[in-house]
Structure 1
Amino acid sequence: MKGKFPNGLAEAMAEAGVGFTELERLTRFTKQDIYKRAHQKARLTAEMAQELAPHLGTTSAKLLGLREVAAFTVPLGGRIGAGGAIDTSTAQDQPGVQYEIETAVQVQDAAIAYQVIGDSMLPIFEPDTVIICRAHTQDIRQHVGKRVAVGTTEHGRQLKIVHQGSKPDLFDLISLNQAYPTMRDVKVEWVARIAAIIPADEWKILEREAEVQTQMRERLKKPSARSNGSRKEEA
């Protein structure tokens, strides 16, 4: 790509057969805004690329001209709330199936991923964004004043700023969206540092059939081991 502000917008528009007028209708950007980026006269921001990408059948990474890397996977721990106290139980709860997040972004020390739900009032944490976290820790005080993923008994998993509560073992959880009240004196079970933030169009869920693997291991046991187990049950 050549130009003062190189990007892949013009190429993506040509491949998709989508013009400036249609993109203006489909998005919140004017034809002039899009024209400047397509002709590399202005910088294409990540936020703009993320909104344009779905209408062009591509990803924001490709529009931004980011180098593609091998797929990276990390276990999916379920959902995490970005607003008030809501149900953060995972929607991927089929018995015997494990889930992973696949993304092109390599994250060092990644331990677990969470799918964001709720309105944080920050585009960076819009619904269906995925946050990739480092390992859980119970050393809560070391993360006071920081924006982290937290696990609680009463409110489930939350994306909050942690402050000290009225007692040493209690903490106030401040929402990123000021419309939601602060959760006062919450018992926090763990916190996890955020290592990466992945836009909604830059990841996909992979299913791993754990139950099938267990069955395969059972079949590989020696016949004597399986029959002994059966005799014990009969006895």
Structure 2
Amino acid sequence: MSMTFSEALKAAMSNRGISLRKIADVAGVSYEQLKKVGQGKSRSTNVDDAQKVASALNMTLDQFLNGGIEAPNTIAIAGRVGAGAQVPVFDAYAKGDGPQVECPQGLSPRGVVAVEIVGDSMEPIYSAGDLLFYTRHTHDCIPDDVVGHRCVVEDEDGMGWVKQVKPGDEPGLFHLISLNPGATTMWNKRLRWAARVRLHWPAELTRKV
């Protein structure tokens, strides 16, 4: 049975353990309006804002108004990556056997995997526990379309990183630019593979299943 927007909002906050302000920030809607709805001072909100709130919670509007009872698609977490620290646990799980997380609204789960951020060296862009979603198209080369973009990469030593990939000084070498301006750039590194980040999802909104 469908809930009112206010009931669905309260259910989402309770089920996810997320604050109203965080929902408003991620959804890009007015916190004051959502607050009025939650306090019963406003009976509802407009359809566009309702859709934004549902999308921020990884749900369709119908799922949101039904308490999220429809089973969403899931994506496997492949492992963990860092920016300024050695993280040798990138492929910590066999393919597809890692923990599962709900697929964010608007992203097809086909061919997509996620990695979890370790440490705080990518603040304020990415935080510990955040998930990055990517599609790895190749297994033995670096596609041209990754150059100049934020990528999940694995270096020749098997370490996982999140860096901006730039051409190196010689063919087959790459400069890995840190997202934090204060961190050290990795010069002329050989990579096993690199894949562009398709979506960043804050830790507060992820839901492992």
1:162 aligned residue (138, 162, 165): 165
Indicate the structure with greater helix content: 1
Map Cα deviations across residues 132-172 of structure 1 (whole Å, 9 max, x no partner): 21124223433110111111124711111100111111000
Contact 2:77–2:101 (Cα < 8 Å) also in 1: no
Query: Aligned letter for 1:121?
Result: E
2:57 aligned residue (46, 50, 61): 61
Query: Aligned letter for 1:122?
Result: P
Partner residue of 1:27?
none
CA distance in 1, matches of 2:208, 2:9: 28
Considering only CA atoms, is the larger Rg found in Structure 1 or Structure 2?
1
- Give the deviation of 1:179 after TM superposition: 1.4
Partner residue of 2:98?
99
Contact 1:173–1:183 (Cα < 8 Å) also in 2: yes
Partner residue of 1:38?
35
C-alpha spacing 1:11/1:205, structure 2 compared with 1 (3 Å): closer
Contact 1:162–1:172 (Cα < 8 Å) also in 2: yes
Alignment of 1:198-209 (within 5 A): 198-206=201-209
Does 2:110 correspond to 1:113? no
Q: Which runs of 5+ in 1 are unaligned?
A: 1-6, 17-22, 25-32, 50-58, 207-235
- Give the deviation of 1:180 after TM superposition: 0.6
Q: Compute the RMSD of aligned alpha carbons.
A: 4.0
Contact 1:9–1:38 (Cα < 8 Å) also in 2: no
- TM-score if structure 2 supplies the norm length? 0.62
Partner residue of 1:126?
127
Partner residue of 1:144?
147
2:197 aligned residue (157, 169, 194): 194
Partner residue of 1:30?
none
Partner residue of 1:75?
76
User: What percentage of residue pairs aligned between the two structures are identical?
Assistant: 23
- Give the deviation of 1:60 after TM superposition: 5.7
CA distance in 2, matches of 1:10, 1:100: 27
Partner residue of 1:86?
86
Q: Which runs of 5+ in 2 are unaligned?
A: 15-19, 22-29, 43-48, 64-69
CA distance in 2, matches of 1:75, 1:167: 35
Contact 2:134–2:198 (Cα < 8 Å) also in 1: yes
Map Cα deviations across residues 55-84 of structure 1 (whole Å, 9 max, x no partner): xxxx9628x995536322222211011x21
C-alpha spacing 1:75/1:11, structure 2 compared with 1 (3 Å): closer
Q: Secondary structure at the match of 1:161?
A: strand
- Give the deviation of 1:178 after TM superposition: 0.9
Map Cα deviations across residues 37-68 of structure 1 (whole Å, 9 max, x no partner): 41279xxx9xxx9xxxxxxxxx9628x99553
CA distance in 1, matches of 2:144, 2:102: 31
